[in-house]
A and B are shown apart, each in its own frame.
Chain A
């Protein structure tokens, strides 16, 4: 595994000796910091100055995590300015898009896991199976805008190896294929960082990422996941169909359902009887049914659409 395996058409390897700005982004729990630590160690092994700066801590349940790693003959600022990152590694798809403007135009290398972790605030409707406010760009569209881009389902690759949490190491393997650092150096760094228990899986993940990247560097059509579906739903919740009925004969128009519906999808008609004004917004949460003093509302939720 070395630069020798690269084909003639492959992009040139990044020259670490001239210094390199790498941004690692993702959400809490993905292993952003492990990647940046590995990069910092790689830089040190090259005899370069290293500065690493990170933001984390609000990331317990999917919050943003990012890390700047800079190494070179002489590095002063710990952070990377907009448009000056040589590499952007994204462990989560939308996070990659969020930081895209930090990447050096034309020449920057974009490496992203296409795995999507939908943040709670992307939920615009609490209806089961409702579409989420999440990035709609496809990998093909995004890779078109960067100098060199790789979008892969690293999580799936890692899961295939038996440990989905090793997705970060898969991405590190992808990155390694673009850098003029010897395989021995990478393996030494991994040995240092990975705890003994997970050393073997990390090494395998690294190899897998590197193998994927070698293939993609040879054939750009392999560099992104063509089956990427832009339609993101609340993936972990079952699809639920809602049947919302109002018994007009029992409704006394007290307005409780109208005012307490979290989606504001009910209203009173001209006869002061409640009706479902915005059925598409109804999530089947049952609040109107529970709080109807007149038993006039019946909400039935069934699994499947």
Chain B
């Protein structure tokens, strides 16, 4: 009982700032403190009328889309490799692909910056995507690894024994089994890229993504306009999470469910 109270207080601590942000995004006055002066949608109207914001959003969606796609392709191949490799191969793959998670974004950001400077690659949308994949691929692989540990390689062997070619086995057995998890993980990669700020600030050059636009506003002032943008970003993140959950959930109900894991 005591534990339950502790847990819910900690959750309240986590959620309270977000609730306050959402609440004040509807504030009728530009102040960000109580007493609450009434509800209004004026800040959302302002968001819609802001062209710079719109182009930053489009930039972020483009970057996140390409990041998710590249991460999906690299991650899908790596996941299939993971199933086939011995312990040593897996260790190499894991060290390479997991270390970036254990490093601050600052380190990854400045090292990519020196790489681009040294190879004289112009900072652009392309360099942002390249950098985001470095951050998203490890997350995709962590998410996949937990699922792949449950993958039964004998299903592939059975398919081969029954005369299917390697390609047929891949298309009809392996891919359908791992696809839902892959897609859910790619959506997470999208979310990571969409929110990324630290690394982006080093490799973006003159480009402006949504988090960079929010940052430039945040540094200048505190206004419910930022709350409105934040609320929309929050709703977007929750929607992404929900879609990933839905796909994962459908997967569980699909034909694979026959296997018991214990």
Q: Do A and B come from one complex?
A: no
